[in-house]
Amino acid sequence: MRFGDFHTHTVNSDGGNTIAEMAAAAEELGFYALGITNHAPMPNESHYTSRQEWLAGIIREVEELRPKYEGRLELFAGIELDINTELDVSALDYIIEANHFPIAPDGARCVVDWGVDNVSKAVNEHFGGDIYSFIARYFEELSRAGDRGPATVGHFDLINIYNEDDCLFSTTDKRYLDAAFGAIDVLSKKDVIFEINTGALYRSQRTQPYPALPLLKYMKERGCRIILDSDSHSVEMLKGHRMLDALEHAKAAGYREDEIEKYPLLRKK
């Protein structure tokens, strides 16, 4: 099976390599396609995110590289767009919607994947110490994916990034399951694809790709479509993509190989 990868980062956000270097590596790996999806700009700018003025340059660079790889590797310009970020994405081929910064009831932007200490701090300061309210807010916001047009839902249960072996909260708790399954119910009726994301596997943060198997099984039951992504932040990471693990994960949830999407939902230009 040849793989495509539609979730990758470059030096234009928090990645370590250029678009050209990522494309060369994808070709070397025998991928049929590569999509570049840097983090969208955020109101509170950080190392993590792209700048608004970089977007046009990213699109142009992808367009300029296309002829070089014609017939061997398809190239796409997308973005990893936060659910709480407003952005004109009309010039992009596709979007991945994700929730890295849920907004607390008091208006504070909290972080999901910036270390356990920051998550605990956010939960204590803005959710009265109740991690399940934080989780509910995360999934509630993420269930708005697809409202801005067709989209991939990025790392659906990112909220579990530091929760290997349920060390932070119980993934069998009814409040957790209601929040996660509720979001799947909403999203399953929209024009979205869920990604199986191996990024945390490569970084040894998780032993399973996102989404966790019980959630992926529920997605299968609900007729949700899936795609395999590595969320690579460097050439090295792309080379260690773990796509075969993602494929096994899909199969374990009941998906057949021919049911896996080959492309994200492209936006009409």
Q: Which residues bind Zn ion (CB under 5 A)?
A: 80, 98, 231
Q: Residues with Cβ < 8 Å from 73, sequence gap 6 or more?
A: 23, 26, 27, 31, 32, 33, 34
Minimal distance, residue 30 CB to Zn ion, in Å:
22
Task: Using the minimum distance from each CB to Zn ion, give the nearer residue, 5 or 231.
Answer: 231
Of residues 143, 145, 197, 138, the one with CA closest to residue 168: 138
Report the alpha-carbon distance of residue 209 to residue 213 in Å, rounded: 9
Give the residue with the Cβ less far from Zn ion, 9 or 126: 9
Distance CA 268, CA 94 (A): 9
Closer residue to Zn ion, CB minimum distance, 47 or 256? 47
Nearest-approach distance from CB 38 to Zn ion, in angstroms: 8
Q: Count Cα neighbours of 82 within 13 Å in the Cβ-side half-sphere.
A: 22
For Zn ion, the closer of residues 111 and 178 by Cβ is 111
Q: Give least dist CB 41 to Zn ion, A.
A: 14
Distance of closest approach, residue 67 Cβ to Zn ion, in angstroms? 27
* CB-nearer residue toward Zn ion: 142 or 216: 142
Eight-class DSSP state of 35? E
Nearer to Zn ion, 61 or 80 (CB): 80
Cα(212)–Cα(266) distance, rounded to whole angstroms? 26
Which residues fall within 8 angstroms of residue 127, CB to CB, at 6 or more apart?
Answer: 104, 105, 110, 133, 134, 137
What per-residue string of b and e applies to 211-241 under the rule 16 or more CB within 10 Å gives b? bbeebbebbeeeebbbbbbbbbbbbebbeeb
Instruction: State which residue, 84 or 170, has the beta carbon closest to Zn ion.
Output: 84
Q: How far is the CB of 221 from Zn ion (least distance, A)?
A: 26
Task: Report the residue number, 97 or 231, with the smaller CB distance to Zn ion.
Answer: 231
238: Cα separation from own chain's centroid: 15
Least Å distance, CB 188 to Zn ion, is 21
**What does DSSP assign to residue 258?**
G
Q: Which residue has the tokens 């790709």?
A: 209
The CB-of-142 to Zn ion minimum distance in angstroms stands at 12
- Taking the C-alpha atoms of residue 14 and residue 252, their distance in angstroms, rounded to an integer, is 32
Please identify the residue of the shown chain whose CB is closest to the bound Zn ion: 231
Residue 3 beta carbon to Zn ion: minimum distance, rounded to whole angstroms: 17
